[in-house]
């Protein structure tokens, strides 16, 4: 389940929950600056499953809030765990960005890397392996991120799958490297950090 942002209302002393829109692709800091009331700087990011079932029970709310490990603050001098969470958010955003594949046959085109796109590529790649082992050389009709159709051989479809998987692996490796830095970057959205 997705994470939510929790903060304490300064007027009522009640904990409030902000659930990002499904298509929100900004950082937690950006979201906090947009939604927090004036004067509130402290917030936490909590997995949805950690929220108490009885939301009217204030003691349960307090327990859930105080037991959350990540203590987020809106400031330029964010603690290391906050910066690491920002890296995680940026990592997930980058995993959905289209990637250009360059096949050994000379074909080059962008592919969708959102969750549905990656699942589709993985399925077609597996099907290409099965077809190839069975001697079926009929081409695949593959639609790229620009909505252009390509006729791909089994080997070309396998290459698309391999390069797409390598992109995800590379993003995860870069994210891990960023989080291991002595000072985790405050703004992990900088493209230079992912080159």
Query: Is 10 part of any domain?
Result: yes
pLDDT at 102: 97
| Residue 170 sits in the same domain as residue 108 | yes
pLDDT at 124: 96
| Residue 109 sits in the same domain as residue 187 | yes
Q: Rounded distance, CA 89 to CA 83, Å?
A: 10
Query: Is 86 part of any domain?
Result: no
Query: Is 87 part of any domain?
Result: no
| Residue 62 sits in the same domain as residue 111 | no
| Residue 102 sits in the same domain as residue 183 | yes
Q: What angle do CA 188, 189, 193 make, to 5 degrees?
A: 65
Mean confidence (pLDDT) of the chain = 79
User: pLDDT tens across 115-149, in order?
Assistant: 899 999 999 999 999 999 999 999 999 999 999 99
Task: Give me the torsion for CA of 160, 164, 166, 170, rounded to 10°.
Answer: 150
If one counts the domains in the chain, the total is 2
| Residue 184 sits in the same domain as residue 126 | yes
User: pLDDT tens across 105-120, in order?
Assistant: 999 999 999 989 999 9
Query: Is 158 part of any domain?
Result: yes
Alpha helices in the chain (DSSP H): 28-35, 58-67, 80-95, 115-133, 154-180
| Residue 53 sits in the same domain as residue 23 | yes
Categorize the per-residue pLDDT at 7 as very low, low, confident or very high, splitting at 50, 70 and 90: confident
Of the residues 21, 43, 75, the one at which a domain ends: 75
Query: Is 142 part of any domain?
Result: yes
| Residue 149 belongs to domain spanning | 95-194
Q: What angle do CA 86, 89, 92 make, to 5 degrees?
A: 150
User: pLDDT tens across 43-83, in order?
Assistant: 777 776 666 554 444 444 444 444 333 333 333 344 556 67
Average pLDDT over every residue of 26-35 = 76
pLDDT at 165: 95
| Residue 119 sits in the same domain as residue 49 | no
Categorize the per-residue pLDDT at 3 as very low, low, confident or very high, splitting at 50, 70 and 90: confident
Looking at the whole model, is its pTM more than 0.75? Answer: no
């Amino acid at each position: 389940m997705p994470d939510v942002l929790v903060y304490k209302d300064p007027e009522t002393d009640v904990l409030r929950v902000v659930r990002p829109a499904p298509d929100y692709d900004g950082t937690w800091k950006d979201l906090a600056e947009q939604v927090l009331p004036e004067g509130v700087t402290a917030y936490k990011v909590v997995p949805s499953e950690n929220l108490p079932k009885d939301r009217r029970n204030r003691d349960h709310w307090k327990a859930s809030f105080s037991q959350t490990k990540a203590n987020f603050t809106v400031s330029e001098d964010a603690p290391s765990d906050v910066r690491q969470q920002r890296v995680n958010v940026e990592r997930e955003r980058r995993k959905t960005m289209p990637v250009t594949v360059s096949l050994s046959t000379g074909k080059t085109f962008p592919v969708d890397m959102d969750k549905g796109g990656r699942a589709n590529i993985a399925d077609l790649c597996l099907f290409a392996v099965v077809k190839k082992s069975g001697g079926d050389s009929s081409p695949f009709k593959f639609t790229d991120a620009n909505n252009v159709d390509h006729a791909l051989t089994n080997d070309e479809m396998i290459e698309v799958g391999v390069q797409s998987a390598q992109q995800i692996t590379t993003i995860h490796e870069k994210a891990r490297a960023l989080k291991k830095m002595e000072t985790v970057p405050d703004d992990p959205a900088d493209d230079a950090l992912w080159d």
